[in-house]
Amino acid sequence: QVQLQESGPGLVKTSETLSLTCSVSGASIGTTYWSWIRQPPGKELEWIGSIYDTGSTRYNPSLKSRVSISVDTSKNQFSLKLKSVTAADTAIYYCARDLNEIFDHWGQGTLVTVSS
Amino acid sequence: SSDLTQDPAVSVALGQTVRITCQGDSLRRYYGSWYQKKPGQAPLLVIYGKNNRPSGIPDRFSGSSSGDTTSLTITGAQAEDEADYYCSTRDSNGYVFGTGTKVTVL
């Protein structure tokens, strides 16, 4: 049974860097893509970016200048960094398994609030 | 803002059928998928590809597509189907989600 779990600070100060980690169990982080997706309060889902176990990445163009996704195959984890955050980055952040067009398993999500 | 457009809200009587649509240019090239989102829960994949359901998804959920539009149909809606539904597909940069449709079961 594939399970994903996000972890990281729930509060980040304006202009600082948001950092989250997704721990994967029940599946090897190799052989497929893994993604970060977020949902601001009252808004739609937004794809942030994806990473393959080789380190190949693709990012949402609207966030590309501020986003970095990395993978640690030894720990079966992948991570998100979003720099220079503002209140607009307040959202529930989800990690998900990306089977190249579908997201079939998701973490429960973690709320990150950006505040001064 | 999303490149996939959905009606904001629809309602359906218990046991009746409801169809939700999603429109966007990327759907002319790629299949769409559908996610059910309930408050406080992670999104749940309900339909993908031409008309495929993941294991555990009831067969009252079905999908179809034509041109730039993909649709999700719930045949015999149940109270537990009340949720937000989002479509998604690939685009030239990665992925995009729809604006979401709130389904209310009366």
Question: Beta B33-37 vs B83-90: how paired, if at all?
Answer: antiparallel
What are the tens digits of pLDDT across the range A64-115?
999 999 999 899 999 999 999 999 999 999 999 999 789 999 999 999 999 9
Considering only alpha carbons, which residue of chain A is nearest residue B6? A44
The phi and psi torsions of A59 (rounded to 5 degrees) equal -130, 155
Chain B nearest-CA distance from A45, in A, is 6
Would you state the pLDDT for residue B93? 86
Would you state the pLDDT for residue A101? 83
Chain B nearest-CA distance from A105, in A, is 8
The SS3 call for residue A63 is coil
Six token digits for residue A9: 């600070």
- Residue B1 clears pLDDT 60, i.e. is over it: no
**Which residues face B65 on adjacent strands?**
B70
Q: Which residues of A57-86 are buried (b: 16+ CB within 10 A; e: fewer)?
A: bbbbeebeebbbbebeeeebbbbbebeebe
Does B76 or A101 have the greater pLDDT score? Answer: B76
Nearby residues of A60 by Cβ (< 8 Å), 6 or more positions away: A46, A47, A48, A49, A67, B93, B94
Would you state the pLDDT for residue A9? 96
What are the tens digits of pLDDT across the range B88-102?
999 888 999 999 999
Say whether A101 and B30 touch across the interface (CB within 8 A): yes
Contact list in A for residue B41 (CB cut-off 8 A) is 108
Identify from A50, A63, A101, A104 which residue to disrupt to test chain B contact, counting B C-beta atoms within 10 A and taking the largest count: A101
Six token digits for residue A50: 């994806």
- Angle in degrees, CA B4, B97, A9, rounded to 5: 150
What are the tens digits of pLDDT across the range B30-63?
999 999 999 999 999 999 999 999 999 999 999 9
DSSP string of B35-96? EEE-TTS--EEEEBTTTB--TT--TTEEEEEETTEEEEEEES--GGG-EEEEEEEE-SSSEE
